[in-house]
Amino acid sequence: MCGFPLAHLDKYLKVLVQEEKRFVALCEEFPVYSDNNVKEFERRIARVVTPGTLIDESFLNPLENNYLLAISPGGEVDEVAQKVGLAWIDVSTGEFFSKQSKLENVPDELARIAPREVVLDDSFQGQPGHAIFETFADSNCLISYAPVPPRGTVSDPESNIDDGPALDTVLTQESIAIELLTEFLRQNLLDHMPRLDSPLREISQDRMQIDLHTIQGLEIRGNSAYEGGSKGSLLSVIKRTNTSGGTRLLARWLCEFHVLELIPIFFDLIMQVLQVHP
């Protein structure tokens, strides 16, 4: 007697997945015909819902991205300057990115990307002393695990990534993160696995990175006085977007300024302040 009507599925998914950070397996019935041409039904798992793999659920906030982030650190346990591969996607919108960073910069990347779920190679479950776990101290995202598929999966013709980047043009740790992310999606979305566009590569040298404490201290996207809402934040002051997609894009830009984009944005902000306080 613990069931609930299908019409209330979103309500319980919101509680179990978003609030309690649980995995929920959705089972569906599929028609099967026996040798006597008798129609029967078999029940199997069609999708596993996790905090980072929400697709079109009605309770998703259209003004915020719901990112799933895969991290592939190197083999060194204590080397904070080691190279780290990052790959993140919002399955609900299809936005897909990848980047190479350093282990010491992972906390800043977590604050900038704000993922709902982080995926690591399942071999790290046996390495609790690895430095990667120290980078999650200021983050409340769920940590999940998945096996890294055989090398070359991204470039394989049967891959779910259209025109996937060639492995010789993507840095090693970055390509592993892309493969890890794709494998996690494939394991959990199952019949709902979409075709993915090739990830857009970010290069740190082209943009001014904003660190964790700056994002929190300047209240760029959220205001702690309003329980994490955007009211009173820099985003709420300069937001003049007409669509939810525009709001998500603006929030991302605020945390990854291109140097040449700084001048018109801050000029517009100063003009707005002068109009309110002449």
- Say yes or no to pLDDT of 144 above 90: yes
The reported pLDDT for the residue numbered 276 is 62
Do 79 and 189 reside in the same domain of the chain? yes
33 falls within a domain: yes
The pair of three-digit structure tokens given for residue 204, joined into one six-digit string: 């740190």
- Where is the domain boundary, 203, 228, 262? 203
**Residue 123 domain-assigned (yes or no):** yes
Assess if residue 168 is contained within a domain: yes
pLDDT at 155 over 50: no
CA–CA distance, 122 with 145 (Å, rounded to integer): 5
pLDDT at 165 over 80: no
pLDDT of residue 62: 81
pLDDT of residue 169: 43
* Lowest-confidence region among 25-29, 37-41, 245-249: 245-249
Q: Is residue 57 domain-resident?
A: no
Q: What is the 3-state secondary structure (H, E, C) of the chain?
A: CCCCCHHHHHHHHHHHHHHCCCCEEEEEEEEEECCCCCEEEEEEEEEEECCCCCCCCCCCCCCCCCEEEEEEECCCCCCCCCEEEEEEEECCCCEEEEEEEEHHHHHHHHHHHCCCEEEEEHHHHHCCCCHHHHHHCCCCCEEEEECCCCCCCCCCCCCCECCCCCCCCCCHHHHHHHHHHHHHHHHHHHHHCCCECCCEEECHHHECCCCHHHHHHCCCCCCHHHCCCCCCCHHHHHCCCCCHHHHHHHHHHHCCCEHHHHHHHHHHHHHHHHHHCC
pLDDT tens for 172-191 read 889 999 999 999 999 999 98
Q: Are residues 78 and 160 in the same domain?
A: yes
pLDDT in tens, 229-252: 666 677 777 777 777 777 777 777
Are 84 and 185 in the same domain? Answer: yes
Cα–Cα distances (Å) from 68 to 53, 55, 91, 164, in that order, read 7, 11, 8, 19
Say if residue 222 is in the same domain as residue 261: yes
Predicted structure pTM score: 0.75
Residue type at position 195:
R
Percent of the chain with pLDDT over 90: 28
Per mean pLDDT, which range of 5-9, 25-29, 160-164 is the poorest? 160-164
Is residue 44 predicted with pLDDT exceeding 80? yes
CB of 4 closer than 8 Å to CB of 13: no
Query: Is residue 127 within 8 Å of residue 113, measured between CB atoms?
Result: no
Same domain? 114 vs 76: yes
Residue range(s) defining the domain that contains residue 191: 67-203
pLDDT at 261 over 70: no
Domain closes at, from 179, 203, 227: 203
Q: What are phi and psi of 193, to 5 degrees?
A: -65, 120
pLDDT for 164:
46
13: pLDDT confidence band, cut at 50, 70 and 90?
very high
Q: What CATH number corresponds to the domain at position 82?
A: 3.30.420.110
pLDDT at 228 over 70: no
Q: How far apart are CA 247 and CA 65, in angstroms?
A: 10
Same structural domain, 218 and 257? yes
251 and 164 in a single domain? The answer is no
Between CA 94 and CA 99, with CA 98 as vertex, the angle to 5 degrees is: 155
Q: What is the mean pLDDT of residues 180-203?
A: 91
Domain co-membership, 135 together with 227? no
Residue 60 belongs to a domain: no
Q: What is the CATH number of the domain that holds 212?
A: 1.10.1420.10
* pLDDT tens digits, 64-97: 889 999 999 875 555 556 889 999 999 988 889 9
Residue 126 lies in a domain: yes
Amino acid in position 92: S
What tokens were used for 203? 């290069």
159 belongs to a structural domain = yes
Instruction: Judge if 179 and 214 occupy the same domain.
Output: no
**Dist CA 260 CA 263 (whole Å):** 6
Residue 263 contacts residue 255 (beta carbons within 8 Å):
no
Which of 61-65, 80-84, 119-123, 209-213 tops mean pLDDT? 119-123
Residue 35's pLDDT band, with cuts at 50, 70 and 90, is confident
Give the torsion through C-alpha atoms of 152, 86, 199, 192, to 10 deg: 80
Average pLDDT value for residue range 29-56: 87
What is the pLDDT averaged over residues 119-147? 88
Q: Please, which pLDDT band fits residue 118 given cuts at 50, 70 and 90? A: very high
Residues 72, 194, single domain; the answer is yes
Q: Within a domain: residue 141? A: yes
Task: Flag the least confident range among 41-50, 108-117, 154-163.
Answer: 154-163
79 with 194, same domain: the answer is: yes
Same domain, 132 and 259: no
Specify the number of domains making up the chain.
3
Residue 57 CB: number of other CB atoms within 10 A? 15
